[in-house]
Amino acid sequence: MPKIPFPLRRVSKDVAHEELRILERTYPHAVTALEYSNPFELLIAVILSAQCTDARVNMTTPVLFKKYPNAEKLAKAKQDDVERIIKSCGFFRMKARNIINCSRELVEKYGGVVPREREQLESLAGVGRKTASVVMSVAFEEAAIAVDTHVFRVSHRMGLTLAKTPREVENDLEALVPREKWRHAHHWLILHGRAICKAPVPLCSQCPVNQLCPTPKIIAKSLAARGRSNAAGAATRRPARSASAKKKA
């Protein structure tokens, strides 16, 4: 199937609120899939999760944290040693450099303690807005919405946003979700993106919001147009001549 286009219009606020309520009921215990035991471990795990599955990160971090259990230890690590441990996470050279430098900055600026404030978090090596939002919302239970690829895709498919950038998607979601639920909302969308609203083709027949979501109609329309195109192409194609017909000619 060709790439599914996003809706060109947002759903109404009433529909958006109902879609989100359904997701909340569907994923009532939604939490991060990353395994961690303290804010430092979460921060490093989120940095490693860029362009990598949480499952792969969870297979990697036990070895990493056994050898480097805190910022002080990781700050003194040799990059080659860290690269060998995290190689399966992809972009391992850049990630090794980032988590070592991040740990050094934690030690030098914050005594080895992960800060709670966004500005301080985003000043650390390898930490952008999404990573900071995850740490704030998960480790410190602060009001923050993290927009990753799942959140971006699902929010568009459900008609919650037409935004072009993750920050704009974040703003649109903040306007729809009560502040006290911000730290939960991105987990609803992430789990839904992994389980149902997958890339490239969502499982709309299994989706709890398919009666409200605009994407099933877009898919049906695309399939119908494709079917008409295939039928028209078949009708215009000349039938191949048989070998006996060729001899007669």
How much is the pLDDT for 179? 97
Q: Which of 148, 164, 221, 246 is catalytic?
A: 148
- Residue found by looking up tokens 């947002």 in the block: 10
CA gap 245, 229 in Å, rounded: 30
Residues 170 and 147 sit within 8 Å (Cβ to Cβ) = yes
CA gap 75, 96 in Å, rounded: 11
How much is the pLDDT for 224? 73
CA gap 154, 185 in Å, rounded: 12
For domain 39-139, say whether CATH 1.10.340.30 is its number: yes
Give the 3-state secondary structure of residue 187: helix
How much is the pLDDT for 95? 98
- Quick: pLDDT tens for 155-168: 999 999 999 999 99
CA gap 64, 71 in Å, rounded: 12
Spans of all domains in the chain = 39-139
From the list 212, 198, 192, the residue with the least C-alpha distance to 27 is 192
- Quick: pLDDT tens for 53-95: 999 999 999 999 999 999 999 999 999 999 999 999 999 999 9
**Residue 244 pLDDT > 60:** no
Sign of CA dihedral 21, 23, 29, 35: negative
Please give the structure tokens belonging to residue 92.
């391992």
Rounded mean pLDDT of the chain? 92
The number of helices, as runs of H, and strands, as runs of E, in the chain is 13, 0
Q: Is 130 a catalytic residue?
A: yes
How much is the pLDDT for 66? 98
Q: Which of 130, 164, 181, 198 is catalytic?
A: 130
Q: Is 247 a catalytic residue?
A: no
- Of residues 247 and 117, the one with the higher pLDDT is 117
**Residue 132 pLDDT > 70:** yes
Torsion of CA 182, 150, 57, 33, to 10 degrees: 50
**Residue 11 pLDDT > 80:** yes
- What is this structure's pTM? 0.87
